[in-house]
């Protein structure tokens, strides 16, 4: 929700009939073609819906949800109590027609055409899923207009660029509650994503109820896992919204939680327990290089791929999981296995020798091929992270690219050349705290692939939310609205690349996401409200709205990267309730302020200057109220330096705007005040500096992971 700067900008998205360009619409993802027409359709109490098609239960449910939501948004009492799909009223103002009702499958026809005239709205699609996408677009056309709501007259033809538009959620490191998953699915449907990939097991936890192997959840989960009933409900829930669910069980590494339950699967005997992330005591005071070396040398919990009993186990397991996860994919992980556990086990070494395997990579390939054979029994295609790829991998195995690489990615080219298909996650890692535009400007197709190879080989992409520093209390803040920018990258034309236009639409979409899907704003407020013990909230909001996380893995690897500095601890028991946990990675306030500063530096107009000064004064004076609240707030006391810094920075800029003081000194002071603390940094630093120097630097084109 916007509380600041909005008066300047509220007319950007506002409809003035006849004088509108495509750019003023708030559609996200942007459709392939949008032709604005003259006039507008007004939402009234005559708004009836007719459906013409083969009776898709999921489309009928979607239409009813849309109808109820539209009534809630507009306050209009609509004529139909329930749209059964059979009545098809002749006077329907919204006429939906489609030809096929199908289960969501990768590669189906998802196109739709939406025609709005002042009299009527027509939505046509080949499939019910295409029609569902069209409903989402129609909802985004809704605009308040005086005493009512309308949609601009428009003709839209739309279809996705990529078949696979996914969001991966790691529910293993921190458990993500079931309700949160459902809300993510709601948000995904709004931005037309179609794959929910759940990272269901890792060293730290196993999150699915197994009835065949109940110790998996009993010994592997600390009590936090999804029941089979819940997962079946989730799969149905996702299917109803055109989304498939891909389960991942990370093998043969990343499996402490599985070995804690069934140690006979292990490559070496040990007292296995679900792991605790980052044992800081053992790795502190090491360089990154040394740590990476260590990671490659240390024996880590790994499945023994040489025993037949392993495959008997996973055959039974896959059979059971296939009754829950009915979509035709099974993700086996296969990442970050250093092979040390295998090398150090003489029996495994002997097995490799007997089979003529030269490296542990060959043994992993053997494991993947065996799993591939099992998966075929249950009509599943195997997916694996990029380490899965080698010369012997079957061509129907899908490879998920995750390691950052140059725009011309040689691995992807090799994979596509080998006729395997690829899902791109490199560039879309949400745990790096990169702002949305960085992901947005990353194209899934590497620069060295020609169009034909890309068309054949690149299935699409997936945003990835690893959960070392995310739990149910902040997952929605971290994922949304940022992921919508990635969703547009996967859906819209490659040429749609204006970051500023994306942000303009993203803030509008954020309202819709909060209203219809996620509790992102509520999660934020819940954390801040605890800090202030339910006293006045605005002060904390004012502060947090202009801070954002330090970029890259600096916090996650704090003890490694900066052993001398004090960093927030990142064990699994750390409550994720600090400022770096609460704030958004993209600062809406910071973006609006930057626009304002850019306007002022361009025009030097009094109106902009006045708004800037008024905002700076608000930041400057926020400190007094902050300190009053801090008397009763342990957490505010801890971050009082951030409040001081914001106040001081605003004061310095006000001085500079009044032409007082020395600009060089002011700039140095600002840069000092902008230094990261508590794992966050000022999101308005460049804008503040620009008000001193008169020059606004462009946003960085890239950030470092470390």
Q: Which of 361, 396, 493, 515 binds its own copies (CB under 8 A)?
A: 515
- Closer to its own copies by Cβ: residue 7 or 395: 7
Q: Does 648 bind its own copies (CB under 8 A)?
A: no
Q: Which of 36, 48, 49, 60 binds its own copies (CB under 8 A)?
A: 60
CA angle 106, 109, 112 (to 5 degrees): 130
Strand residues in 444-535 grouped as ranges (E): 458-465
Using the contact rule CB under 8 A, the part of the chain among 373-381, 508-516, 651-659, 698-706 near its own copies is 508-516
Q: Does 280 bind its own copies (CB under 8 A)?
A: no
CA angle 687, 644, 640 (to 5 degrees): 125
Q: CA–CA separation, 105 vs 129, rounded Å?
A: 10
C-alpha dist (Å) from residue 246 to 104, 235, 334, 549, 688? 12, 9, 15, 30, 45
| Alpha-helix residue ranges (DSSP H) falling in 287-339 | 288-297, 308-322
Q: Confirm whether 468 is a catalytic residue.
A: no
Q: CA–CA separation, 447 vs 428, rounded Å?
A: 17
Site string for its own copies, 5-44 (x = CB under 8 A): -xx--x---x------------------------------
Site string for its own copies, 222-261 (x = CB under 8 A): xx---x-xx-xx----------------------------
- Closer to its own copies by Cβ: residue 75 or 346: 75
CB-neighbour burial class of residue 308 (10 A; exposed 0-12, middle 13-18, buried 19+): exposed
Shortest Cβ distance from residue 573 to its own copies (Å)?
A: 5
Q: Does 634 bind its own copies (CB under 8 A)?
A: yes
Q: CA–CA separation, 264 vs 252, rounded Å?
A: 13
Using the contact rule CB under 8 A, the part of the chain among 4-12, 32-40, 46-54, 475-483 near its own copies is 4-12
Q: CA–CA separation, 297 vs 93, rounded Å?
A: 67
Q: CA–CA separation, 643 vs 649, rounded Å?
A: 10
Strand residues in 43-110 grouped as ranges (E): 49-52, 94-100
CA angle 259, 262, 268 (to 5 degrees): 55
CB-neighbour burial class of residue 384 (10 A; exposed 0-12, middle 13-18, buried 19+): buried
Q: Interface residues for its own copies in 527-566 (CB under 8 A)?
A: 529-530, 533-538
Half-sphere exposure of 483 (CA within 13 A, CB side): 35
Q: Interface residues for its own copies in 595-624 (CB under 8 A)?
A: none
State the DSSP code for 684.
Answer: T
- Closer to its own copies by Cβ: residue 221 or 337: 221
Q: Does 370 bind its own copies (CB under 8 A)?
A: no
Q: Does 573 bind its own copies (CB under 8 A)?
A: yes
- Closer to its own copies by Cβ: residue 305 or 481: 481
Q: Interface residues for its own copies in 453-492 (CB under 8 A)?
A: 473
Q: Residue 329's closest CA among 396, 279, 387, 408?
A: 396
Q: Does 279 bind its own copies (CB under 8 A)?
A: no
Q: CA–CA separation, 287 vs 117, rounded Å?
A: 64
CB-neighbour burial class of residue 115 (10 A; exposed 0-12, middle 13-18, buried 19+): middle
- Closer to its own copies by Cβ: residue 6 or 410: 6
β-strands 195-202, 164-170 pairing? parallel
Using the contact rule CB under 8 A, the part of the chain among 120-128, 287-295, 509-517, 553-561 near its own copies is 509-517
Q: Which of 252, 305, 578, 685 binds its own copies (CB under 8 A)?
A: 578
Using the contact rule CB under 8 A, the part of the chain among 34-42, 80-88, 158-166, 454-462 near its own copies is 80-88
Using the contact rule CB under 8 A, the part of the chain among 72-80, 131-139, 208-216, 688-696 near its own copies is 72-80
Shortest Cβ distance from residue 261 to its own copies (Å)?
A: 15
SS3 400: strand
Q: Which of 120, 284, 419, 569 binds its own copies (CB under 8 A)?
A: 569
| Alpha-helix residue ranges (DSSP H) falling in 492-519 | 499-516
Q: CA–CA separation, 671 vs 685, rounded Å?
A: 8
Shortest Cβ distance from residue 202 to its own copies (Å)?
A: 16
Q: Does 290 bind its own copies (CB under 8 A)?
A: no
Shortest Cβ distance from residue 568 to its own copies (Å)?
A: 10
| Alpha-helix residue ranges (DSSP H) falling in 37-127 | 57-74
Shortest Cβ distance from residue 312 to its own copies (Å)?
A: 30
Which is the catalytic residue, given 233, 336, 535, 674?
336
Q: Interface residues for its own copies in 174-193 (CB under 8 A)?
A: 179, 182
SS3 112: strand
Q: Does 2 bind its own copies (CB under 8 A)?
A: yes
Shortest Cβ distance from residue 345 to its own copies (Å)?
A: 29
Shortest Cβ distance from residue 11 to its own copies (Å)?
A: 8
Q: Two tokens at 470?
A: 């995310």
Using the contact rule CB under 8 A, the part of the chain among 143-151, 298-306, 346-354, 668-676 near its own copies is 143-151
Q: Does 267 bind its own copies (CB under 8 A)?
A: no
Shortest Cβ distance from residue 76 to its own copies (Å)?
A: 7
Shortest Cβ distance from residue 577 to its own copies (Å)?
A: 5
Q: Which of 22, 32, 44, 61 binds its own copies (CB under 8 A)?
A: 61
Q: Does 62 bind its own copies (CB under 8 A)?
A: no
Shortest Cβ distance from residue 589 to its own copies (Å)?
A: 13
- Closer to its own copies by Cβ: residue 67 or 330: 67
Q: Residue 491's closest CA among 171, 188, 72?
A: 188
Q: CA–CA separation, 306 vs 321, rounded Å?
A: 23
- Closer to its own copies by Cβ: residue 159 or 572: 572
Given the structure tokens 């709005």, which residue do they identify?
116
Q: Does 212 bind its own copies (CB under 8 A)?
A: no
Shortest Cβ distance from residue 597 to its own copies (Å)?
A: 21
Q: Which of 19, 81, 269, 659 binds its own copies (CB under 8 A)?
A: 81
Half-sphere exposure of 292 (CA within 13 A, CB side): 5
Rounded to 5 degrees, φ, ψ at 538 are -60, -35
CB atoms within 10 A of CB 530: 15
Q: Which of 514, 548, 608, 647 binds its own copies (CB under 8 A)?
A: 514
Shortest Cβ distance from residue 468 to its own copies (Å)?
A: 15
Rg (CA), the chain: 27
Q: Does 574 bind its own copies (CB under 8 A)?
A: yes
Q: Two tokens at 125?
A: 């699609």
Q: Do the Cβ atoms of 661 and 674 come closer than 8 Å?
A: no
Enumerate the active-site residues: 336
């Amino acid at each position: 929700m916007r509380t600041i700067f909005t008066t300047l900008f509220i007319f950007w998205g506002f409809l003035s009939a006849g004088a509108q360009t495509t750019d003023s619409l708030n559609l996200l993802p942007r459709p392939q073609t949008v032709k604005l027409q003259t006039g507008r359709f007004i939402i009234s109490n005559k708004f009836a819906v007719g459906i013409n098609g083969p009776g898709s239960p999921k489309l009928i449910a979607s239409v009813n949800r849309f109808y109820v939501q539209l009534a809630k948004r507009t306050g209009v009492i609509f004529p139909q109590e329930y749209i059964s799909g059979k009545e098809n009223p002749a006077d329907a103002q919204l006429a939906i027609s489609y030809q096929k009702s199908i289960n969501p499958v990768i590669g189906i026809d998802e196109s739709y055409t939406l025609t709005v005239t002042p009299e009527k709205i027509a939505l046509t699609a080949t499939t019910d899923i295409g029609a569902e996408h069209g409903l989402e677009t129609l909802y985004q056309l809704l605009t308040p207009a005086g005493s009512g709501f309308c949609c601009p007259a428009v003709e839209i033809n739309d279809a996705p660029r990529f078949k696979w538009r996914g969001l991966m959620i790691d529910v293993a490191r921190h458990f993500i509650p079931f309700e949160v998953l459902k809300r993510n699915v709601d948000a995904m449907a709004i931005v037309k994503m179609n794959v929910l990939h759940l990272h269901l097991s890792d060293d730290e936890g196993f999150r699915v109820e197994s009835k065949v192997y109940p110790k998996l959840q009993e010994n592997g989960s600390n009590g936090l896992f999804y029941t089979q009933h819940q997962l079946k409900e989730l799969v149905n829930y996702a299917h109803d919204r055109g989304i498939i669910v891909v389960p991942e069980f990370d093998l043969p590494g990343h499996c402490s939680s599985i070995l804690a339950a069934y140690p006979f699967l292990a490559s070496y005997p040990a007292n296995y327990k679900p792991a605790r992330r980052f044992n800081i005591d053992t790795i502190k005071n090491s360089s990154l290089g040394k740590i990476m070396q260590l990671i490659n040398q240390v024996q880590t919990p790994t499945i023994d791929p040489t025993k037949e009993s392993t495959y008997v186990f996973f055959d039974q397991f896959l059979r059971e999981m296939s009754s829950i996860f009915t979509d035709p994919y099974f993700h086996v992980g296969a990442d970050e296995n250093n092979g040390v556990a295998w090398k150090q086990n003489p029996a495994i070494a002997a097995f490799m020798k007997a089979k003529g395997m030269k490296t542990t990579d060959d043994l992993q390939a053997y494991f993947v091929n065996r799993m591939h054979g099992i998966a075929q029994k249950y009509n599943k295609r195997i997916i694996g992270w990029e380490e899965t790829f080698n010369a012997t991998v079957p061509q129907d195995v899908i490879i998920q690219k995750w390691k950052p690489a140059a725009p011309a990615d040689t691995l992807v080219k090799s994979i596509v050349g080998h006729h395997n298909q690829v899902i791109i996650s490199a560039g879309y890692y949400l745990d790096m705290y990169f702002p949305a535009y960085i992901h947005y400007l990353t194209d899934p197709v590497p620069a060295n692939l020609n169009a034909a190879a890309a068309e054949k080989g690149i299935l699409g992409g997936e945003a990835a939310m690893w959960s070392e520093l995310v739990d149910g209390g902040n997952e929605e803040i971290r994922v949304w609205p940022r992921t919508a920018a990635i969703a547009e990258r996967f859906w819209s034309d490659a040429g749609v690349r204006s970051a500023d236009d994306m942000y303009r639409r993203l803030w509008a979409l954020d309202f819709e996401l909060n209203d219809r899907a996620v509790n992102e704003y509520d999660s934020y407020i819940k954390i801040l409200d605890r800090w202030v013990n339910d006293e006045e909230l605005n002060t904390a909001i004012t502060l947090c709205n202009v801070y954002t996380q330090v970029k890259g893995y600096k916090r996650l690897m704090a003890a490694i990267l900066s052993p001398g500095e004090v960093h927030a601890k990142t064990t699994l028991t750390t409550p994720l309730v600090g400022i770096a946990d609460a704030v958004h990675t993209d600062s809406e306030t910071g973006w609006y302020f930057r626009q304002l500063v850019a306007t002022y530096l361009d025009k030097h107009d009094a109106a902009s200057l006045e708004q800037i000064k008024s905002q700076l004064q608000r930041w400057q004076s926020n400190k007094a109220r902050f300190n009053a609240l801090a008397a009763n707030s342990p957490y505010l006391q801890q971050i009082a330096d951030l409040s001081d810094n914001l106040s001081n920075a605003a004061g310095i800029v006000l001085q500079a705007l009044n032409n007082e003081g020395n600009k060089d000194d002011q700039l140095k002071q600002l840069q000092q005040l902008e230094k990261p603390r508590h794992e966050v940094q000022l999101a308005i630093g460049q804008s503040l500096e620009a008000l001193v120097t008169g020059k606004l630097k462009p946003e960085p084109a890239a950030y470092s992971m470390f």
